[in-house]
Amino acid sequence: VTTDASGDTCCYRRAYPRPCPVDMATAAPPKQSARTQAIFADMSAKAAAASAAVVPALEEFIAFCAANGTTTEPGGLFGVAACPGLADLTNNGTTAPYPSADQIVARFSE
């Protein structure tokens, strides 16, 4: 099937606004090649490993900030008054004034 891109050619009219005919013999290329998929899988694995490696240091940093924060709000930096976005974490049946470091990390890793 060929077309000269004139409006009188039947397959051009049938495929408008896409000038390529719907029954064109050329197959569409894959969205991602096998090489692209392998690169993405490799980068995802490296990112997961790097993230897992830094979580203990992040939890330690959050615990330090929670214990040594210089706010006068009840519960400190991560209490309900200073950080209402984390209020539901302390409203889970515990009597802690602020969420634990691993609860905070879990919240931001969702």
Dump pLDDT digits (tens) for 67-108: 787 777 777 787 777 777 777 777 666 667 778 888 888 887
* Count of Cβ atoms closer than 10 Å to residue 75 Cβ: 20
pLDDT of residue 69: 77
- As a whole number of angstroms, the distance between CA 1 and CA 68 comes to 75
DSSP state of 8: T
Give the HSE-up count for residue 46: Cα atoms under 13 Å, Cβ half-sphere: 6
41-60 confidence digits (pLDDT tens): 999 999 999 988 998 998 89
Look up the pTM and report it. 0.51
